[in-house]
A = this chain, B = another copy of it.
Amino acid sequence: MATVTNGVNVDALLEAREALKAAPEAAQFTWRASSVWREGVHSTTTIQNYFGLGQEQSHKAESTFEADHPEVFAAEDNGITPIEFLLVGLAGCLTAGVASVAQNRGIQLRSVTATVEGNHDIRGILGADSDVRNGFNDIKVTFTIDADASPQEIEALVAQSQKRSAVFDALTNPTDVTVEVA
């Protein structure tokens, strides 16, 4: 195991698991984003601060994201379409899981790539057919992994990553979302 260098501090994660079993209040995180409308369907969203381990926390840097609609929707395409951000989160979460599980299992990764495809019938959001949902019809993630492991071990890595993925859960199961005007 000492020669596996995927760069994940699994010992710290296993210690956190044990610590948070005894202190569930510290496990309550709040992630935050702030957005400002620019013009048309273009908005800018900023992320820096969050709450966790019982106190305010901050990312090392502020991150800023532009969302817009593409030109085929008669918009300016100043950034990716909002629904595409869900694919970014899904790719990042499952990849982080693959790296973490590999580290825990003593599997050296050499490369991990993923392609994510979300099928979307836009008649829903346009109001062209009330039987069509607004969101994705379905999503497919395809991993290509080069690792010091058998195909079966690689399949198992991906399956365990999916089992513990925050974003996979958020997309495959419903979440209560409240939208209010201040």
In the complex, which residues 65-79 of chain A have their Cβ closer than 8 Å to any Cβ of chain B? 65, 67-75, 77, 79
In the complex, which residues 86-113 of chain A have their Cβ closer than 8 Å to any Cβ of chain B? 86-96, 98-100, 109, 111-113
Contact in complex: B32, A128 (CB < 8 Å): no
- Measured between alpha carbons, how far is A22 from B96 in the docked complex, in Å? 43
- Measured between alpha carbons, how far is A49 from B8 in the docked complex, in Å? 31
Contact in complex: B52, A72 (CB < 8 Å): yes
How many residues of A sit at the interface, in one of the four size bands?
35 or more
> A124 to chain B: which residues have CB within 8 Å?
164, 166, 169
Q: Is A2 an interface residue (CB 8 A)?
A: no
Number of copies: 2
In the complex, which residues 1-35 of chain A have their Cβ closer than 8 Å to any Cβ of chain B? 6-9, 12-13, 16-18, 20-21, 24, 27-35
Q: Considering only CB atoms, which chain B residue lies closest to A126 in the complex?
A: B17
Contact of A178 among B81, B83, B140, B165 (CB under 8 A): B140
What's the minimum C-beta distance from A12 to chain B, rounded to whole angstroms?
3
- Measured between alpha carbons, how far is A100 from B126 in the docked complex, in Å? 11
Known interface pairs A65-B88, A169-B134. Does A126 touch B20 (Cβ–Cβ under 8 Å)? yes
